C-alpha cells in the first residue's frame, strides 16, 4: 500500500520511535515559530537549556498577541523577545507586521517541511503542504535546540473534496462543515488530509482557512497537497524556489474517507459557545447583531479582505453594528491600501484595527453586555471575547459583511449582490523589512538580552514520586478549554511571563476561588470530563496549575497539546478506566494513589477516595515516564544535555 501525504513527510523526518498508529514517533523539525504570548516562556526555557544558537533551518519569533501595551509589561516582553532572538539565531517579526500564521504562510512556510509553533493554529501552514503542529513552548524550545518533537502517531482521515464552492459559500463554510461532522473532539489523535478534485478550486489562503480550523477539531495537524496552485502562490510571494510538488500515493490508506461536495454547501455559522455548534446561517435569519469583526489567523488574508472590501464598497454598516477589520499582515494592509480597497472598508464605517490577533483573544474590541458578535475567527469559547455574557458566532467574511450591512444575521446569498470576482495578485508586495535577522554567530556574544521586571522565573517542576496524596481542589465538566484554565484577554495576557501573577486568575471562568484553595491545599488534583484542555497550546494552562501545586489531572479524556504540556510540566494526566467513575468523586475529597511508578509503567493505577477504589489508566511512553520522574521536560532535557 502507498503512503498518504502525512506519512510521506513523517517518514522523511523520522529520527526515532515508530510510525505505527499510536506509537511515539520522534520527528526532526525544520522550522519553529513562536508568538509573544507563549514566546517569552519558550525563550526563557530555551535559555535555561543553555544552548547558544538554534539548530533549525528557520526559527521565527512573532509579536502579534500582546500588542496593546497598556503598561510597560508588553513592551518589555517585546524587547526581551527581540534581543533573545537576535542573540540566538532567530528571526524577529516586529509588532505590527502581522499574525504569525498569516505571515508564516506568506513568507516562510515550505511544502514538505516540518514546523512546530507555540500556538495551536500552527497547522495553518498545512495550506502550503507543510506538516505543522501546535505545541507547548517547551517543546518548541527543545526543537529550537535541535531536539526531536514527539507525537503519538496519528490516524489519518482523508477529506475528499468534490465540485466547487458556489457564490458566497467559502472555505470558512468548509471548516464549519467538517466541525459539524467531526465535532471539537473528532480530530483528536488524527491528521486531516484534504484531497480530491475540489482541492484544485481552492487557493492557498482558502486552504489555510481550512487547515487553520483543524485546531478546533482537536486534530494533530491538517494538510493539503502541494500543487500548481501552491506554486503560483509561492511565485507571487517571490519564492517559487521553495516549491515542491507533493501528494498522497493513489493507493494510500486512510482510517476513514469523508466526502464533501463543495457545490452542495451553504453558508454556515457556529453558535455560542463552541466552534462545532454549527447550523445554516439561514436558520438564524433576523437575529439582531451588535458587533462584527473580520480578521484573525483564520480569515485575514488579502483574499478575505478584498472580498470584504468589495461587499462594503459604496454601502454603509448598519448604525446598530460596530464593525472592525484587522488585516492579517502588513503585506495585506499595504496592498489593501495601494489598491484603494482600504478606503472602501473605511468609508463603509468599519474601524481599522492593527494587524494582530486583537479581538480574537480579547485584546480590545470586546462586545457590549450580552452583545451578539459575528466574527470570522476560529474560537467562540465563553468569555474569550472579554465580555462574559457576549454571544459570539463564527462566520465567513461574506456572512459577516452581509450581517454588518443589515444589522441582523444574514445569509449573504439573500442580498441579491453580484457574485464577487476577487483574484489573488500575480505578485504580492514583498517587503520583509519588519522581519529582523538574527546577529551573525560571531557577533551574538555581544548582544545583551533585555529583561523587564515583569519577567519572573519559570516554576520548577517536581519529580513525580511513588505515592501521591492530594486534595481534589476542583472538579469541572466536559470540554474545559485552556481559556477556562488560564484565561487570556487584555487584563491577564500582559502577565504571560509572570506566573505568580497569572496564578490569581487560574480557572477564573469556572471558579474564582480555586487559586486560594489550591494554595491552601499545598498539593492538589483537578478532575475533568471529556476533551479536557482543548483549544490553545498555552503551556501556562499547565505551568500555572504546577505553580499552584497541582500534581495530577484526572479526566475522561484529554486534548493532545494540553496533555503533552501537562507531562512537560511534570503533572500527570490520568484517565478514568470507567468514565462513569467521574461521578464518584467530590470536590474537597482527599485522594491517594500508591505505587505511582509501577502504575506509569503498567498503564494502570488505583485511586483511593474515602474508601472507594477507582481504576485509572495512562499510556505514557518510556520517554514521558522519564520526563515525569525528572519533574518535567526542562529538568529532563538539562539532565540529558549534561
Residues that bind ligand SF4 (CB under 6 A): 65, 99, 119, 121, 296-297, 357, 360-361, 377-378
Nearer to ligand MIC, 17 or 134 (CB): 134
Is residue 344 a contact residue for ligand MIC (CB under 6 A)?
no
Nearer to ligand SF4, 24 or 119 (CB): 119
**Beta partners for residue 325, in sequence order:** 294, 352
The C-alpha atoms of residue 206 and residue 365 are separated, in whole angstroms, by 26
Contacted entry of ligand SF4, ligand MIC, none for residue 99, CB cut-off 5 to 8 Å set by kind: ligand SF4
Applying CB under 6 A, the span of 119-127, 439-447, 460-468, 506-514 interacting with ligand MIC comes to 119-127
Is residue 564 a contact residue for ligand MIC (CB under 6 A)?
no
Give burial (CB, 10 Å; 0-12/13-18/19+) of 314: exposed
Nearer to ligand SF4, 242 or 483 (CB): 483
Is residue 37 a contact residue for ligand MIC (CB under 6 A)?
yes
Contact (CB, 8 A) for 482 and 541:
yes
Nearer to ligand MIC, 215 or 342 (CB): 215
Give burial (CB, 10 Å; 0-12/13-18/19+) of 362: buried
* Least distance between ligand MIC and beta carbon 453 (Å): 21
User: In the complex, which residue's CB is closest to ligand MIC?
Assistant: 536
Q: Left (φ > 0), alpha (ψ -120 to 50) or beta: where does 98 sit?
A: left
Nearer to ligand SF4, 208 or 591 (CB): 208
* Least distance between ligand SF4 and beta carbon 327 (Å): 12
The C-alpha atoms of residue 287 and residue 103 are separated, in whole angstroms, by 35
Residues 57-76 that bind ligand MIC (CB under 6 A): 65
Name the nearest CA neighbour of 56 among 79, 33, 32, 38. Answer: 32
Contacted entry of ligand MIC, ligand SF4, none for residue 296, CB cut-off 5 to 8 Å set by kind: ligand SF4
The C-alpha atoms of residue 177 and residue 147 are separated, in whole angstroms, by 37
Nearer to ligand SF4, 234 or 361 (CB): 361
The C-alpha atoms of residue 608 and residue 601 are separated, in whole angstroms, by 19
Would you give the end-to-end CA distance of the chain in angstroms?
43
* Least distance between ligand SF4 and beta carbon 99 (Å): 5
The C-alpha atoms of residue 156 and residue 127 are separated, in whole angstroms, by 16
* Least distance between ligand MIC and beta carbon 316 (Å): 31
- Residue 622: count other Cβ atoms within 10 Å of its Cβ: 10
Write the CA distances from 549 to 17, 42, 82, 524, integer angstroms.
32, 21, 32, 6
Of the candidate residues 120, 226, 331, 534, the single one contacting ligand MIC (CB under 6 A): 120
Structure-block grid coordinates of residue 62: 512573532
* Least distance between ligand SF4 and beta carbon 360 (Å): 3
The C-alpha atoms of residue 325 and residue 399 are separated, in whole angstroms, by 14
Applying CB under 6 A, the span of 12-20, 68-76, 530-538, 630-638 interacting with ligand MIC comes to 530-538
Nearer to ligand MIC, 45 or 411 (CB): 45
Angle CA(414)–CA(418)–CA(419) in degrees, nearest 5?
90
- Residue 613: count other Cβ atoms within 10 Å of its Cβ: 10
Contact (CB, 8 A) for 570 and 627:
yes
Is residue 537 a contact residue for ligand MIC (CB under 6 A)?
yes
Nearer to ligand SF4, 291 or 524 (CB): 291
* Least distance between ligand MIC and beta carbon 367 (Å): 17
Is residue 102 a contact residue for ligand MIC (CB under 6 A)?
no
Is residue 273 a contact residue for ligand MIC (CB under 6 A)?
no
Of the candidate residues 538, 551, 562, 629, the single one contacting ligand MIC (CB under 6 A): 538
Residues 131-150 that bind ligand MIC (CB under 6 A): 134
Give burial (CB, 10 Å; 0-12/13-18/19+) of 421: exposed
Contacted entry of ligand MIC, ligand SF4, none for residue 216, CB cut-off 5 to 8 Å set by kind: none
Of the candidate residues 131, 268, 348, 488, the single one contacting ligand MIC (CB under 6 A): 488
Residues 6+ apart with CB under 8 A from 51: 88, 144, 145, 146, 641
Structure-block grid coordinates of residue 158: 482523508
Nearer to ligand MIC, 317 or 567 (CB): 567
Of the candidate residues 31, 300, 454, 536, the single one contacting ligand MIC (CB under 6 A): 536
The C-alpha atoms of residue 133 and residue 193 are separated, in whole angstroms, by 14
Contact (CB, 8 A) for 248 and 5:
yes
Nearer to ligand SF4, 475 or 562 (CB): 562
Backbone φ and ψ of 317, nearest 5°: -65, 140
Nearer to ligand MIC, 120 or 406 (CB): 120
Is residue 121 a contact residue for ligand MIC (CB under 6 A)?
yes
Is residue 104 a contact residue for ligand MIC (CB under 6 A)?
no
The binding site for ligand MIC (CB under 6 A) comprises 37-38, 65, 119-121, 134, 361, 379, 488, 535-538
Amino acid at each position: 500500500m502507498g503512503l498518504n501525504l502525512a506519512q510521506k513527510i513523517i517518514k522523511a523526518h523520522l529520527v526515532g520511535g515508530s510510525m505505527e498508529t499510536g506509537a511515539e514517533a520522534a520527528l526532526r523539525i525544520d522550522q519553529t515559530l513562536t508568538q509573544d504570548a507563549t514566546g517569552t516562556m519558550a525563550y526563557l526555557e530555551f535559555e535555561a537549556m543553555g544552548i547558544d544558537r538554534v539548530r533549525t533551518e528557520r526559527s521565527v519569533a512573532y509579536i502579534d498577541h500582546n500588542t496593546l501595551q497598556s503598561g510597560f509589561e508588553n513592551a518589555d516582553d517585546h524587547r526581551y523577545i527581540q534581543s533573545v532572538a537576535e542573540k540566538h539565531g532567530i528571526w524577529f517579526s516586529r509588532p505590527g507586521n502581522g499574525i504569525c500564521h498569516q505571515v508564516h504562510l506568506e513568507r516562510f512556510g515550505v511544502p514538505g517541511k516540518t514546523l512546530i509553533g507555540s500556538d495551536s493554529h500552527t497547522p495553518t501552514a498545512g495550506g502550503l503542504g507543510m506538516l505543522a503542529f501546535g505545541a507547548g513552548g517547551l517543546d518548541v524550545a527543545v526543537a529550537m535546540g535541535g531536539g526531536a518533537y514527539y507525537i503519538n502517531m496519528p490516524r489519518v482521515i482523508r477529506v475528499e473534496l468534490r465540485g466547487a464552492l458556489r457564490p458566497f459559500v467559502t472555505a470558512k463554510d468548509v471548516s464549519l462543515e467538517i466541525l459539524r461532522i467531526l465535532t471539537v473532539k473528532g480530530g483528536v489523535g488524527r491528521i486531516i488530509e484534504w484531497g480530491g478534485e475540489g482541492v484544485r478550486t481552492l487557493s492557498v489562503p482558502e486552504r489555510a482557512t481550512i487547515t487553520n480550523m483543524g485546531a478546533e477539531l482537536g486534530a494533530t495537524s491538517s494538510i493539503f497537497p502541494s500543487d500548481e496552485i501552491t506554486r503560483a502562490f509561492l511565485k507571487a510571494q517571490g519564492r517559487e524556489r521553495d516549491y515542491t510538488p507533493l501528494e498522497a500515493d493513489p493507493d494510500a490508506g486512510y482510517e476513514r474517507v469523508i466526502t464533501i461536495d463543495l457545490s452542495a454547501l451553504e453558508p454556515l455559522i457556529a453558535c455560542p459557545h463552541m466552534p462545532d455548534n454549527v447550523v445554516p446561517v439561514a436558520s438564524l435569519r433576523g437575529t439582531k447583531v451588535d458587533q462584527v469583526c473580520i480578521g484573525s489567523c483564520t480569515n485575514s488574508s488579502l483574499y478575505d479582505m478584498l472580498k470584504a472590501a468589495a461587499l462594503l464598497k459604496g454601502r454603509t454598516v448598519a448604525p446598530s453594528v460596530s464593525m472592525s477589520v484587522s488585516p492579517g499582515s502588513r503585506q495585506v494592509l499595504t496592498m489593501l491600501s495601494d489598491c484603494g480597497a482600504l478606503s472602501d472598508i473605511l468609508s463603509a464605517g468599519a474601524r481599522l484595527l492593527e494587524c494582530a490577533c486583537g479581538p480574537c483573544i480579547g485584546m480590545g474590541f470586546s462586545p457590549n453586555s450580552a452583545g451578539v458578535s459575528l466574527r470570522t475567527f476560529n474560537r467562540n469559547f465563553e468569555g474569550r471575547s472579554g465580555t462574559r455574557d457576549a454571544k459570539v458566532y463564527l462566520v465567513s467574511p461574506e456572512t459577516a459583511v452581509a450581517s454588518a450591512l443589515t444589522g441582523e444575521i444574514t445569509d449573504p446569498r439573500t442580498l441579491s449582490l453580484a457574485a464577487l470576482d476577487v483574484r489573488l495578485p500575480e505578485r504580492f508586495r514583498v517587503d520583509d523589512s519588519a522581519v529582523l535577522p538574527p546577529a551573525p554567530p560571531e557577533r551574538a556574544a555581544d548582544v545583551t538580552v533585555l529583561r523587564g521586571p515583569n519577567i519572573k522565573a519559570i516554576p520548577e517542576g517536581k519529580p513525580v514520586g511513588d505515592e501521591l496524596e492530594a486534595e481534589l481542589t476542583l472538579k469541572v465538566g466536559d470540554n474545559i478549554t485552556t481559556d477556562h484554565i488560564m484565561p487570556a484577554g487584555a487584563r491577564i495576557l500582559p502577565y504571560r511571563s509572570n506566573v505568580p501573577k497569572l496564578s490569581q486568575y487560574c480557572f477564573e471562568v469556572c471558579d474564582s476561588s480555586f487559586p486560594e484553595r489550591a494554595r491552601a491545599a499545598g498539593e492538589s488534583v483537578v478532575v475533568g470530563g471529556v476533551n479536557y484542555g482543548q483549544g490553545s497550546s498555552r503551556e501556562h494552562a499547565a505551568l500555572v496549575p504546577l505553580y499552584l501545586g497541582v500534581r495530577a489531572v484526572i479526566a475522561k479524556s484529554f486534548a493532545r497539546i494540553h496533555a503533552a504540556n501537562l507531562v512537560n510540566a511534570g503533572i500527570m494526566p490520568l484517565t478514568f478506566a470507567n468514565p462513569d467513575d467521574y461521578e464518584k468523586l467530590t470536590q474537597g475529597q482527599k485522594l491517594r494513589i500508591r505505587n505511582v511508578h509501577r502504575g506509569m509503567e503498567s498503564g494502570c493505577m488505583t485511586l483511593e477516595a474515602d474508601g472507594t477504589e477507582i481504576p485509572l489508566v495512562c499510556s505514557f511512553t518510556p520517554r514521558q515516564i522519564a520526563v515525569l520522574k525528572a519533574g518535567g521536560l526542562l529538568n529532563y532535557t538539562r539532565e540529558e544535555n549534561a
